[in-house]
Amino acid sequence: MSEILKALLLFWLPLSMIALGAWVSLSSKGNFRTNFGRITAIIGLLMVCSSPWTVPSSPSSSIGHLIGFIIGPSSLLLIGIYLLIFSGSVPVGKLPTSDRNLGIFCMTLGSVWFCLMQWGVFTPIYDGEDVNRFWLIFFPTLLLMVASLSSVLSISMLVIGEERQTESSVMRSISLISMVLIICGLTFDGKNISSDTFTTYFWLSVSDLFGILVGISLSIFIFGLVIYIYEKSIDEPKSVPPPTIDELSQASQKIANNIGGVESE
């Protein structure tokens, strides 16, 4: 079997199974289809994570290598966020207040795990030689996105929300921690990753994020401009002539036939 065919069958096909399984699971109401989608996504995820051994010659297998490394701390962060959100003041699905401490613990453990991957001994080393290049892209982008989104959410909660000062302070704390980690990455060398390498990929992440924001802004502006030009080119609608006496008489007869009747004794 050729290397291209092996990569197609053992990496790209399982990768598509993850998306397909997640879509079937979320869009289905029946238990059978929901379970089928979940099982399909799990099988695809396991095959993608095992791609460094099944298709080691494919450059794409480093993605599976990274997913296998980050699935643990990412799960802890997601669980912590879920517990923090639904143990607060939510109208439905409220969890016990004691779950908030567990959520904080999960988020702290996940964050420390990520920090050890950047500066400690848990760095994703691909094929026993070099640092996984996708990790070099992933971690600066993650910190930048968390810092940006949490800052926007903190301001939005104060401007739009009502009695959300506690949630806003939590978002500010998360943003501040992310900024501190960015400064640490720009300043301090890790066990396997230097600060110069982090700086290079951080500014690449900044340029990517800036390009995405510019692209979204331009697309919204162009869409609005096209709608504006189209609306300006349309003539004003013509006035409808008033109904005639015959039309009014016919309408009155229809109304009387539908709402009239004799009350029962």
Per-residue pLDDT tens over the stretch 89-120: 666 667 777 788 888 888 889 989 999 999 98
Same domain, 18 and 90: no
Q: Is the pLDDT assigned to residue 164 strictly greater than 60?
A: yes
Same domain, 51 and 93: no
Can you tell me the mean pLDDT for 215-233? 90
Phi, psi angle pair for 202, to nearest 5°: -65, -45
In a domain, 236, yes or no: no
Weakest mean pLDDT among 5-14, 181-190, 204-213: 5-14
Same domain, 200 and 69: yes
Residues 6+ apart with CB under 8 A from 77: 106, 107, 110, 111
In a domain, 245, yes or no: no
In a domain, 200, yes or no: yes
Domain enclosing residue 9, as ranges: 1-58
In a domain, 26, yes or no: yes
Helix (H) or strand (E) run with residue 131 in it: strand 130-131
Same domain, 1 and 121: no
Q: Is the pLDDT assigned to residue 163 strictly greater than 70?
A: no
C-alpha to C-alpha distance for 262 and 241, rounded to whole angstroms: 36
In a domain, 253, yes or no: no
Same domain, 209 and 103: yes
Q: Is the pLDDT assigned to residue 261 strictly greater than 60?
A: no
Can you tell me the mean pLDDT for 129-154? 87
Amino acid letter, 99? D
Same domain, 49 and 98: no
In a domain, 134, yes or no: yes
C-alpha to C-alpha distance for 147 and 180, rounded to whole angstroms: 10
Number of domains in the chain: 2
Same domain, 186 and 111: yes
Query: pLDDT at position 245, please?
Result: 85
Same domain, 175 and 75: yes
Binned at pLDDT 50, 70 and 90, residue 140 comes out as: very high
Same domain, 76 and 139: yes
**Average predicted confidence (pLDDT) for the chain:** 84
C-alpha to C-alpha distance for 144 and 209, rounded to whole angstroms: 9
Can you tell me the mean pLDDT for 39-43? 91
103-106 contact pairs (CB < 8 A, 24+) = 103/79, 104/80, 105/80, 106/76, 106/77, 106/79, 106/80
Which is nearest to 53 in space by CA: 87, 95, 11?
Answer: 11
In a domain, 176, yes or no: yes
Same domain, 113 and 189: yes
Query: pLDDT at position 89, please?
Result: 66
Same domain, 202 and 119: yes
Q: Is there a contact between 220 and 213 (Cβ–Cβ < 8 Å)?
A: no
Same domain, 69 and 161: yes
Query: pLDDT at position 215, please?
Result: 92
- C-alpha distances out from residue 255 to 259, 260, 264, 265, Å: 6, 8, 20, 23
